[in-house]
Amino acid sequence: MPWPFKPKSRKQIARIEITGLIAGNTRQRVLDALKTVEEKKFPALLLRIDSPGGTVGDSQEIYSALMRLREKVKIIASFGNISASGGVYVGMGAEHIVTNPGTITGSIGVILRGNNLERLLDKIGVSFKVVKSGPYKDILGFDRELTDPEKTILQEMIDTSYQQFVQTVAEARNLAVETVRSFADGRIFTGQQALDLGVVDRLGTEEDARRWAAELVGLDPEKTKCETIEEPKRLLSRLIPGNTGRMNSGLSAGINWLEFELSTSGQPLWLYRP
């Protein structure tokens, strides 16, 4: 005889936030949260994205996990203040997308940056002696300019990553590849423009997205609540509640950005750089 009462999670909508730069820590947190959504059998997921993007591989892994989860769970994405580049890519894993009219989105493209400190090093009398197994092993070395063959190699890599991005957007939004290419040149646009281009489905708030998710799975939008899936709090945070973490949020964000810049130097990124 089947159990007559549904679990609480079957009457709620799961909610996951993707905020800030998308890198390894974000990927792992989101993948764990998606696993929880599947295990608890939530009927729908509200994915709140407020991110300028991040690393290519981490964005692709989150997208792939969302596509697998879509076989069991309805997924609605809500774009916040900014959902650009890798944020857009992750959003393509949702069945439907809601955005604010003034949301900054787009920036569909790939960027790779290195640093050339050759002139500075010459001034202070520092040089590097390099022994390498092949001509391209020290590509993007900060002590010299790129050679023409190296530029060709890197451009081909960027073009491949870009094509993957364009293809994903085209398939997710049922658009022609050439149509996506027409606006996937790195430009940013508003949520209103994104709707006109076919990148999103509706204009609205996160609350509008929640109500739509509830309707899609036959729940009452007036009564259905969201359960935000978060990583467990550290013991100290549980013992000493308060605003201590918020006070340092600005400094922490700055440190995180610096760490991201240093760790991803020379990597192709799906990242909007204002």
Which of 137, 151, 225, 233 is catalytic? The answer is: 137
Residue 209's region, left for phi above 0, alpha for psi from -120 to 50, else beta, is: alpha
DSSP state of 114: -
Which of 59, 85, 107, 161 is catalytic? The answer is: 85
> Catalytic site residue 72?
no
Beta strands 74-84 and 44-51, pairing class: parallel
- Give the number of other Cβ atoms within 10 Å of residue 74's Cβ: 21
Cβ 255 vs Cβ 70: under 8 Å:
no
What secondary structure does DSSP assign to 157-178, as a single string? HHHHHHHHHHHHHHHHHT--HH
Cβ 50 vs Cβ 59: under 8 Å:
no
Cβ 165 vs Cβ 110: under 8 Å:
yes
> Catalytic site residue 35?
no
Cβ 227 vs Cβ 9: under 8 Å:
yes
- Give the number of other Cβ atoms within 10 Å of residue 195's Cβ: 18
Beta strands 269-271 and 44-51, pairing class: unpaired
**With the C-alpha atoms ordered 233, 236, 241, 247, is the resulting torsion angle positive or negative?**
negative
Give CA separation, 15 vs 45, 108, 216, in Å. 6, 25, 15
- Give the number of other Cβ atoms within 10 Å of residue 265's Cβ: 13
Active-site residue list = 85, 137
